[in-house]
Amino acid sequence: MEASDRTTEFLTLLTQHDRALGLYVYSMVSSNADADDVLQQTKMVMWRSFDQFESGTNFIAWARKVAFHQILNSRRQHKRQHLPLSDEMLEALSHGVAQLSERGEDRREALQSCLRKLAEEHRQLVLLRYFEDLEVEQVAERIGSTEGAVYRALSRVRLVLLQCVEKQISAGGAA
């Protein structure tokens, strides 16, 4: 693969998973300033070692592993400071955070699947309200309806989406 293609792949994957990686690091490091440093260092290490990442595999799992090692390195550098958690406890916490993150990813995938199943007019309501971030008044104006009708429709659609997501999660996937 050409270097520019790998660069594009890295940047695309990092952009897609940047929030999840940041949440992971900030949940594991007590100081925001230290978390900023760890996150920056993690991204630099990820870039330098991206040739070791196998395309098509789980990028966020790989990124969390890199981040975990950077967190451990940071803890070693600050070992003179009082650190309330042992490395073993930190590893257990890391595992728990990773599981929560994966559940969030499963819910996101299930939600995307459920959104695709909505009738076009319901999907449009959701997109206008939550993705274009329009107020209910603006949504009503855009679709030629009343605010009350939009509120009721959104309420029904949210319930349908919630039930669909829960059903898919309990069935074991977002297929």
Please count the structural domains in the chain: 2
Are residues 76 and 111 both part of a single domain? no
pLDDT band at 42; cut points 50, 70, 90: very high
Q: pTM value?
A: 0.48
Q: What letters, b where the CB count within 10 A reaches 16 and e where it falls short, cover 105-130?
A: ebeebbbeebbeebeeebeebbebbe
Are residues 1 and 80 both part of a single domain? yes
Are residues 15 and 60 both part of a single domain? yes
Q: What is the CATH number of the domain that holds 171?
A: 1.10.10.10
Q: pLDDT, tens digit, for every residue of 141-167? A: 999 999 999 999 989 998 998 899 889
Pick 175 or 119 by higher pLDDT: 119
Q: What is the CATH number of the domain that holds 9?
A: 1.10.1740.10
pLDDT band at 107; cut points 50, 70, 90: confident
- The pLDDT assigned to 12 comes to 93
Please enumerate in sequence order all residues whose Cβ is within 8 A of that of 34, keeping only pairs 6 or more positions apart, or say none. Answer: 74, 78
- The pLDDT assigned to 116 comes to 87
